[in-house]
Structure 1
Amino acid sequence: MKHASIKSARLARLTKMLSDRREHSTLEIMERAKIAAVSACISELRCLGAEIACSKRHDGPNGEPRWYYRMTKGPRKNG
């Protein structure tokens, strides 16, 4: 997979947001980090060495599924 550099503004915003090591929903990431293709950006960070867990919960208003991401290890600085 081709991926952007860690110097990419969108990956930098996502890394900063996930650096608190807490879970964040796809919608929260879209709104706070201003990223549309969350799963693609997560994949790019993984290519740069980040370890990001993903979980699916049915906790939407009517039991709809929601995806949550939690970074346990950040990307390489020289990615």
Structure 2
Amino acid sequence: MAKFTKPVDLWADNNEERIKSGALVLQRGQYVYCGDKQLSRYVGHSIHTINVVHGHNTKVMTARFRERVKFVKLSESRAL
């Protein structure tokens, strides 16, 4: 069973660099903040970007998240 993890503010305490270096590990789908207190969902990251989905409500954000994950998985499968 997955354990609830408190949302991380990506813009606070050098978290962006910690994610990119591997010092802070987030799970795909984990709720995060991007400065403000509106929740977003973490999709993944690369050397230059952190991929998150924002939404005005949970229903919209979940739909956007599912679509984004589909494309990320497709991209990852083609890179192999």
* TM-score relative to the length of structure 2: 0.29
* Structure possessing the higher relative contact order (Cα contacts under 8 Å, 6 or more residues apart): 1
* TM-score relative to the length of structure 1: 0.29
